Structure 1
């Protein structure tokens, strides 16, 4: 099975992700958009065998304690998946350094992957890198979004790609709707994936795993409501795992 970013020169988090991906035959990330610690842990446990990334929004957890992230970290290490905290940092370097390292959540102590908007300039990369010292953490830059009428221009997306390509010591790839760079070291993860292909009344657009992987060249599909809102998240995760992996095999054949 051919798979990108397995050479030794790429970001260590990308390399670990590739190993999990090949071992589990999965390129599935689950977006755990739930609001209690009990729900988050239950979801993580139910889908653990089928995912390579669990994407969290830790600041929507109404009963957060540090014990939650300790349990998530242990589960991720045992089950073989990475934790992606979808904080979407978007401030000056000094501020994001403290946001990722300090405060209630201390994200850099437990997350493997974080993401950021490049709107404040390259200083946001330097600030996050400083806040993440001591652990191997990969940064994804938001180059495109799946919501209707978003303000991501072509020029902004191109500058985001250019900046990622010259900061690969910390930047591991993109959040985007399609493959944007010829640099195979950079991973593309795509949210807004749902096999039902329907949106919502808050501006979300959905695409199928086949569209995202085969047609648009992405590497990882990010699925939220299609799994966590299912009556059986474990079975739903298996279905998405199989669909996304099959699409990857077709693309790489």
Structure 2
């Protein structure tokens, strides 16, 4: 198979050809921060989430969470958890992602996209049923900025104002053993994404899914883990619960993905900020090696 041009194209150049404004912003942000790392912040409380976001923020470009299961989430639009995350996003240069359930394309493709991730600037209000209906109808919900007054002095230098649009990442492949996702399902996801390029940013996948010349999708991949520091020559095993792990080099160079998603590898570390920086550095070196 011929190698797709995006694999050798720098993020900054890809931003110029992006079909979604949030994709363009994210690619520029990645180039500016020299980071292609997403943290899957599976923590129990809003306090933990905010503390973690502030500590690892300099090393990551996307913070992914399940806000609807985070204990103590404050929905106050001015002072709540979303507003505080928005301030941290502006301070460190972050996009926020929330994993949500299904977008249905069963009628046209014979499949149902069971899980998806919405990406955008953090906000405080909930993602309710009305918005899910808007997604299914193809309308593009807007995000409130929720940027507290007086944040300018803390803003990450050189980072532009994030667009307020939301974008969708379709779960097209999984990293778990014995996944039920088939090649036909993945193909249907890609076809659906091409028909909705003004809303779909890309995929959660195990490989780069850009196949046609005009494809400009971002591919983000979970199941990334590094061996302990000093043992980088060793392989990485799964978690014993079905999750399979790969190194940043294997995912970014070997599989051609754009952003690696790391959870426990950072969350369970003795020093999460230092470990996040190790992942950032390693993943960015893999990207530089890929584009030459």
**TM class by smaller structure:** 0.7 to 0.9
Aligned residue in 2 for 1:7: 16
Deviations 1:215-247 (A, max 9, x none): 000000000001111111100010000000000
Report the alpha carbon displacement of residue 198 of structure 1 after superposing the two structures with TM: 2.1
Q: What CA distance in whole angstroms lies between the structure 2 residues aligned with 1:252 and 1:92?
A: 36
Aligned residue in 1 for 2:159: none
Match of 1:90 among 102, 105, 116: 102
Kept in 2: contact 1:34–1:60 (CA 8 A): no
Q: What CA distance in whole angstroms lies between the structure 2 residues aligned with 1:18 and 1:91?
A: 25
Q: What CA distance in whole angstroms lies between the structure 2 residues aligned with 1:133 and 1:208?
A: 36
Report the alpha carbon displacement of residue 149 of structure 1 after superposing the two structures with TM: 1.1
Q: What CA distance in whole angstroms lies between the structure 1 residues aligned with 2:194 and 2:135?
A: 13
Aligned residue in 1 for 2:92: 79
Q: What CA distance in whole angstroms lies between the structure 2 residues aligned with 1:186 and 1:125?
A: 19
Q: What CA distance in whole angstroms lies between the structure 2 residues aligned with 1:230 and 1:57?
A: 21
Report the alpha carbon displacement of residue 56 of structure 1 after superposing the two structures with TM: 0.7
Match of 1:23 among 14, 32, 37: 32
**Of the two, which has the highest radius of gyration?**
2
Q: What CA distance in whole angstroms lies between the structure 1 residues aligned with 2:274 and 2:261?
A: 16
Aligned residue in 1 for 2:149: none
TM-score of the two chains, using structure 2 as the length reference: 0.73
Aligned residue in 1 for 2:110: none
Aligned residue in 1 for 2:255: 216
Query: 4+ residue runs of structure 1 moved beyond 6 angstroms?
Result: none
Kept in 2: contact 1:139–1:170 (CA 8 A): yes
Structure 1 alignment gaps of length 5 or more: 109-115, 117-122
Aligned residue in 1 for 2:82: 69
Report the alpha carbon displacement of residue 60 of structure 1 after superposing the two structures with TM: 2.3
SS at 1:130 equivalent: coil
TM-score of the two chains, using structure 1 as the length reference: 0.84
Deviations 1:41-99 (A, max 9, x none): 11101111011100111122122211111111111122111001122x21559xx9xxx
SS at 2:39 equivalent: strand
Kept in 1: contact 2:103–2:135 (CA 8 A): no
Cα RMSD for the two superposed structures: 2.4
Aligned residue in 1 for 2:276: 237
Q: What CA distance in whole angstroms lies between the structure 2 residues aligned with 1:124 and 1:244?
A: 36
**Larger helix share, 1 or 2:** 1
Structure 2 alignment gaps of length 5 or more: 1-8, 106-113, 119-123, 144-163, 228-235
Q: What CA distance in whole angstroms lies between the structure 1 residues aligned with 2:86 and 2:171?
A: 24
How many residues are paired up? 230
Q: What CA distance in whole angstroms lies between the structure 2 residues aligned with 1:199 and 1:34?
A: 21
Is 1:249 aligned to residue 262 of structure 2? no
Q: What CA distance in whole angstroms lies between the structure 1 residues aligned with 2:241 and 2:61?
A: 28
Alignment of 1:16-165 (within 5 A): 16-66=25-75, 67-87=80-100, 89-90=101-102, 106-107=126-127, 126-127=136-137, 129-130=138-139, 132-133=141-142, 135-165=164-194
